[in-house]
Amino acid sequence: MISIVLANSSQTPLYKQITEQIKRGILDGKIEPGESLPSIRVLASELGISVITTKRAYDELEDEGLLETVPGKGCFAAGNNELLRERRLRMLEELLEEALSQADYLDLSVKDLVTMITTLKEETDGIST
């Protein structure tokens, strides 16, 4: 389980901070599909916040299909690998949109971007082998 850190000085509501950190943990693979999460009460106690706040975060994650609640057993990271794959693809699309925006700003062509990506991939593959 990932460690959740709340920033009281942040303008982001506490429930949203919890939601985003758990979501990121699931999408990044730090929280495995089927992994048990702390109960709403336990998480609230650990973070020193209201049960209502943690319930709201868990409800939002469940609505997004990232959490599954099993009555009497607890909350678990969703095991729907296809949904997680789609979410990760969407995150990649957003990153690529930002890369395209930056390339336009720098007056780089798509061919230049493909060359950069190919070079980075080759360097990464060379390091990992």
DSSP state of 109: -
How do residues 10-37 score in pLDDT, each as one tens digit? Answer: 999 999 999 999 998 988 889 988 999 9
pLDDT in tens, 41-92: 999 999 999 999 999 999 999 998 889 988 888 899 987 767 777 877 888 9
Distance of alpha carbon 9 from alpha carbon 25, whole angstroms: 22
Task: Give the pTM.
Answer: 0.68
Residue in the block written with tokens 């949904």: 83
70: how many CB neighbours lie within 10 A of its CB? 9
Q: What pLDDT is attached to residue 19?
A: 96
Q: Could you tell me the two tokens for 71?
A: 């009555």
pLDDT for 16 equals 97
pLDDT over threshold 60, residue 129:
no
Contacts of 47 (CB under 8 A, 6+ apart): 4, 6, 14, 18, 54
The reported pLDDT for the residue numbered 5 is 93
CATH number of 14-79: 1.10.10.10
Helix axis angle for 40-47 and 14-27, nearest 10°, is: 110
- Residue 100 has a pLDDT of 93
pLDDT of 89-107, one tens digit each? 888 999 999 999 999 999 9
Residue 119 predicted with pLDDT over 90 = yes
CB 99 within 8 A of CB 38: no
Rounded Cα–Cα distance for residues 73 and 44 (Å): 18
Q: How many CB atoms lie within 10 A of CB 62?
A: 14
